[in-house]
Chains A and B, each alone.
Chain A
Amino acid sequence: MTADALAVIRPQSEAELAEVLRGASAPVAIRGGGTRPVGLIQPGGVLETGGLSGITLYEPGALTLVARAGTPLAEVEAALAAEGQRLPFEPMDHRALLGTTGAPTLGGMVAANASGPRRVVAGACRDSLIGVRFVDGTGNVVKNGGRVMKNVTGYDLVKLMAGSWGTLGVLTEVSFKLLPAPDSAATLVWDGLDAAQAVALMSTALSLPWEVNAASHLPDGRTALRIEGFEASVEYRAEELATALARFGRSVRLSRKDSVTLWQQVRDVTPFASGQGAGDVWRLSVKPSDAPALAASAGGDALFDWGGGLVWLRLAEGTDLRARLGTFRGHATLIRASVEARRNLPSFQPEPAPVAALSLGLRARFDPRGLFNPGLMG
């Protein structure tokens, strides 16, 4: 099997994938579930990872899971739920936002470093990822990290692969450290705060010892905090929090069902779900206290997550957010826009020259023939 232009290849093993790539003569777009089409990839062949599927090791007592990269995320989440465990970083599902169908895979989640509300405390996907296997652009199989959570043996290519959007290699296997899923959760909601007040509330909450693990301000004006743990502990902390934050007004406790719904909306950015006239969506990563002013300069609707550190913006189609914001610390990624808008604007934030030189150098060495996702990531 060879990678011809416009063909779809679906290797059934890592060895077959390596062989395909050694003989490849044309670029390919790498596709897991096809649910996160961010940026623009030049037309070419398609390499599907769905044939590389299945959990290869799950040890609940060691909080460790290893699975092939094409494994559907839903399959992994079901296996973890059966043991009362979960992925710590609450991976975002992009389907509602991007209007895609299909089943998200572990590999796609890692390639996008997809992380949800709990990221503010539990870390991103890259923080729970402890091992990778991938095939580089020369067809070599490379492993890095492993299945233990403390490992400083050699360079950390695990972090490099997370969030590299398939431009450095094709992931074949990924390992995670896990966390126990707590019995109980509580969500406190304040209504009617403006963005600056909301970020102030969230900053205060995240600076208190009661382990708030999600803090978000939604476009409908609600500001929400979540705590999780053993039931008695959650009750205690919820009361302490409501008292400590009384100066921001009275809060209400959501029911269990409403709480799950709210955090799913935040995680998946459903207030900006795709549909007729839905507008472009940008993702802004900034210092939390900078977020309200930046969102105001941007105009449009905003959803603040991670205590303000992550801002989702819905803007009129074709808006150049970076031009509108001028120089700021952090970065802006164009997540949803028309093909034309994505042709005109780089989806990923352009990097300063010395950093861009390092990124280009890495890409040239991991994929010397330019096979993987050409056009993506600068």
Chain B
Amino acid sequence: MQMPAPSADILARRTRITRRLREVLPGDAVIDDPIETRAYECDGLTAYRCPPLAAVLPSTTEEVAAVLRLCHDEGVPVVPRGAGTSLAGGALPTADSVILGVARLTQVLETDYDNRFIRVQTGRTNLSVTGAVEADGFFYAPDPSSQLACAIAGNIGMNSGGAHCLKYGVTTNNLLGVTLVQMDGTVLELGGAHMDAGGYDLLGLICGSEGQLGVVTEATLRILPKPEGARPVLIGFGSNEVAGACVSDIIKAGILPVAIEFMDRPCIVATENFAHAGYPDCEALLIVEVEGSEAEIDAQLGLIRQIAARHDPVEFRESQSEDEARKIWLGRKSAFGAMGVMGDYICLDGTIPVSELPFVLRRIGELSEQFGLKVANVFHAGDGNMHPLILFDANKPGDLETCEVMGAEILKLCVEVGGCLTGEHGVGIEKRDLMNVQFAPEDLEAQMRVKDVFDPKWLLNPAKVFPLAASESRRAG
């Protein structure tokens, strides 16, 4: 994965830049010791690393604005960083860039149950947003798998989803407002506690812009009353096709489960060996979770049982207790850990139309044989967001490269059948050079024009999202 060569001119001004940073921030908020900056050399995409020129950890919106104004003045690129859990390299620095981390911005600023929102600083973790309101019966809906660690800033940057978005939507559907600091230090408010935009939907544009349009320091988030209860069922099938058809029939029947998770045989075997959740021996399984009162749950699961029966299930396991519910989720929740035990892996997240599921799974199987790398599939079936995990051996020369080529083939396949490169992880550097597969030059040009407006000098996270060749003239300017 190529990154632009660092600017010799900026590197030559390193001392002056860090001195100026110390003038606007407390001493312990500027990190430039080469040993300490290594903590910021990568995010969750650990295959690519590069320590930044410096990392800064501001504690207020004013400090963020001061840093950005200064870097704008010096012409230094800035890479915003939430908790560093991006799987796409969204927070990967270059040697001439300053990492702007929001880790010290963790306060809850306002909780308003009458109007059902919470306003937080964006370094706060996703799970601790729910943590701040759950005692009062509320929760924050988007639930990315990394929710224990990931920050709201990164959720907004990547428009993060999660297992429960079939019912509750993704970040953009639950974000009411932000405080945004532009690259030149201008601070502005978009949205708020009201529900829609008076002019252009700039809030919608910011969400998912991968830290390229501004730094979000505060966010107003919609919170929802917790459902009375939730219960999962596990259904095993004789083939991927049948499991896929069952998903489609459940949705057509008018049931809207909060989650429909799909695992294929390689994934079932791997997680069973690892977590011993007691999953049945079958080709594919679904975990379907529904919400409501006990009676409502019974009614919905009754319908799901009828629909599943038409598809000849190998097993239909309803949880009779909290413990059984936990066991149903256990294998699914340990899937990534189970893969980690088997070897190194990359995790893709292309989305496909649900109807293409059987075809795409078959093609992935063929690619797996062709490239000689194992693939396990676990994903959010209700919305078509796939998560093929390709296993490789990082110590074997050439294996990572083979794995990346195969990953690219799978993502091209997702686009070919009418889907997209990334459903919730973001483009970052990982899928940057595949953007031409999904978009025509005019499509990318329209997006880059937006960055021209928000960040005319292209200093915010500049080497991400767009193929380097496409953005080169802008970055140079």
A, B: real partners? yes
The interface residues of chain A lying within 8 Å CB-to-CB of B205 are 155-157, 159-160
For the complex with contacts A152-B159, A209-B227, A329-B194, 14 further pairs of A-B residues with Cβ separation under 8 Å are A59-B353, A62-B251, A126-B201, A148-B384, A148-B423, A150-B423, A152-B170, A155-B447, A156-B204, A183-B254, A206-B116, A232-B299, A287-B193, A365-B449
**Most chain B C-beta atoms within 10 Å of own C-beta, residue among A136, A153, A209:** A153
Digit string of B2-45 for contact with A (CB within 8 Å is 1, else 0)?
A: 00000000000000000000000000000000000000000000
Instruction: Report the nearest A residue to B205, measured CB to CB.
Output: A160
* Residues A180 and B173 in contact in the complex (CB < 8 Å), given A141-B442, A155-B209, A362-B200: no
Residue B426 at the chain A interface, CB threshold 8 Å: yes
Chain B contact residues, CB within 8 Å of chain A:
112-116, 137-138, 158-159, 161, 165, 169-170, 172-173, 182, 186, 188-190, 192-205, 207-209, 225-228, 247-249, 251-256, 292-293, 295-296, 299-300, 351-355, 380, 383-385, 418-427, 431, 435, 438-440, 442-447, 449-454, 465
B225 touches A163 (CB 8 A): no
B423 touches A355 (CB 8 A): no
Q: Which 4 A-B pairs have the closest CB atoms?
A: A159-B204, A331-B198, A61-B248, A180-B254
The total number of A-B Cβ pairs within 8 Å is: 259
Instruction: Report the nearest B residue to A229, measured CB to CB.
Output: B296
The interface residues of chain B lying within 8 Å CB-to-CB of A180 are 251-256
Show 16 residue pairs from A and B whose CB-CB distance is below 8 angstroms, ordered by the A residue.
A126-B201, A143-B439, A144-B446, A144-B447, A148-B351, A150-B170, A150-B380, A150-B384, A154-B439, A155-B451, A159-B203, A159-B207, A288-B115, A355-B202, A361-B453, A366-B449
Report the separation of the CA atoms of residues A120 and B256 in the bound assembly, to the nearest whole angstrom: 18
Chain A contact residues, CB within 8 Å of chain B:
59-64, 83-84, 113, 115, 119-120, 123-124, 126-127, 136, 140-144, 146-160, 162-164, 168, 179-183, 200, 203, 206-209, 229-230, 232-233, 236, 285-289, 306, 309-310, 329-333, 348-349, 351-352, 354-355, 358-359, 361-362, 365-366, 377-378
The interface residues of chain B lying within 8 Å CB-to-CB of A361 are 452-453
A153 touches B192 (CB 8 A): no
Report the separation of the CA atoms of residues A163 and B200 in the bound assembly, to the nearest whole angstrom: 7
Q: Which of B170, B198, B385 contacts A348 (CB 8 A)?
A: B198
* Residues A365 and B198 in contact in the complex (CB < 8 Å), given A148-B383, A181-B254, A354-B186: no
A289 touches B114 (CB 8 A): yes
Report the separation of the CA atoms of residues A162 and B454 in the bound assembly, to the nearest whole angstrom: 19
Report the separation of the CA atoms of residues A216 and B170 in the bound assembly, to the nearest whole angstrom: 26
The smallest C-beta distance from B249 to any residue of chain A, in angstroms, reads: 7
B204 touches A126 (CB 8 A): yes
The interface residues of chain A lying within 8 Å CB-to-CB of B383 are 148-150
* Residues A153 and B427 in contact in the complex (CB < 8 Å), given A61-B354, A136-B446, A209-B226: yes
The smallest C-beta distance from B172 to any residue of chain A, in angstroms, reads: 7
The interface residues of chain B lying within 8 Å CB-to-CB of A229 are 296
Instruction: Report the nearest A residue to B182, measured CB to CB.
Output: A354
Q: Which of A84, A158, A365, A378 contacts B453 (CB 8 A)?
A: A365
Report the separation of the CA atoms of residues A207 and B117 in the bound assembly, to the nearest whole angstrom: 11
Report the separation of the CA atoms of residues A140 and B445 in the bound assembly, to the nearest whole angstrom: 10
* Residues A123 and B169 in contact in the complex (CB < 8 Å), given A64-B353, A288-B115: yes
Report the separation of the CA atoms of residues A378 and B226 in the bound assembly, to the nearest whole angstrom: 41
B353 touches A123 (CB 8 A): no
Report the separation of the CA atoms of residues A142 and B440 in the bound assembly, to the nearest whole angstrom: 8
B450 touches A62 (CB 8 A): no
B249 touches A306 (CB 8 A): no
The interface residues of chain B lying within 8 Å CB-to-CB of A209 are 137, 225-228
The interface residues of chain B lying within 8 Å CB-to-CB of A206 are 116, 225
The interface residues of chain A lying within 8 Å CB-to-CB of B449 are 362, 365-366
The smallest C-beta distance from A51 to any residue of chain B, in angstroms, reads: 22
A62 touches B225 (CB 8 A): no
* Residues A63 and B442 in contact in the complex (CB < 8 Å), given A126-B204, A287-B192: no
Report the separation of the CA atoms of residues A374 and B216 in the bound assembly, to the nearest whole angstrom: 32
The interface residues of chain A lying within 8 Å CB-to-CB of B384 are 62, 148-150
A203 touches B115 (CB 8 A): yes
Report the separation of the CA atoms of residues A190 and B465 in the bound assembly, to the nearest whole angstrom: 52
A119 touches B251 (CB 8 A): no
Report the separation of the CA atoms of residues A361 and B205 in the bound assembly, to the nearest whole angstrom: 14
Q: Which of B189, B201, B424 contacts A162 (CB 8 A)?
A: B201
The interface residues of chain A lying within 8 Å CB-to-CB of B418 are 146-148
* Residues A154 and B299 in contact in the complex (CB < 8 Å), given A123-B169, A209-B225: no
B114 touches A153 (CB 8 A): no
Report the separation of the CA atoms of residues A159 and B450 in the bound assembly, to the nearest whole angstrom: 13
* Residues A151 and B420 in contact in the complex (CB < 8 Å), given A62-B355, A127-B169: yes
A355 touches B116 (CB 8 A): no
Q: Which of A123, A236, A289 contacts B295 (CB 8 A)?
A: A236
B115 touches A330 (CB 8 A): no
**Most chain A C-beta atoms within 10 Å of own C-beta, residue among B208, B249, B454:** B208
Report the separation of the CA atoms of residues A127 and B222 in the bound assembly, to the nearest whole angstrom: 14
B199 touches A349 (CB 8 A): yes
**Most chain A C-beta atoms within 10 Å of own C-beta, residue among B423, B443, B446:** B446
The smallest C-beta distance from B136 to any residue of chain A, in angstroms, reads: 9
Q: Which of A124, A153, A168 contacts B422 (CB 8 A)?
A: A153
B385 touches A358 (CB 8 A): no
The smallest C-beta distance from B429 to any residue of chain A, in angstroms, reads: 14
The smallest C-beta distance from A295 to any residue of chain B, in angstroms, reads: 14
The smallest C-beta distance from A128 to any residue of chain B, in angstroms, reads: 9
The smallest C-beta distance from B293 to any residue of chain A, in angstroms, reads: 6
A348 touches B199 (CB 8 A): yes
The interface residues of chain B lying within 8 Å CB-to-CB of A126 are 201, 204
The interface residues of chain B lying within 8 Å CB-to-CB of A348 are 198-199
Q: Which of A60, A236, A358 contacts B454 (CB 8 A)?
A: A358
The interface residues of chain A lying within 8 Å CB-to-CB of B209 are 155-156
Report the separation of the CA atoms of residues A153 and B430 in the bound assembly, to the nearest whole angstrom: 12
Report the separation of the CA atoms of residues A331 and B446 in the bound assembly, to the nearest whole angstrom: 28
Report the separation of the CA atoms of residues A79 and B253 in the bound assembly, to the nearest whole angstrom: 16
The interface residues of chain A lying within 8 Å CB-to-CB of B202 are 160, 355, 358-359
A154 touches B427 (CB 8 A): yes
Instruction: Report the nearest B residue to A59, measured CB to CB.
Output: B355
B192 touches A150 (CB 8 A): no
Report the separation of the CA atoms of residues A156 and B249 in the bound assembly, to the nearest whole angstrom: 30
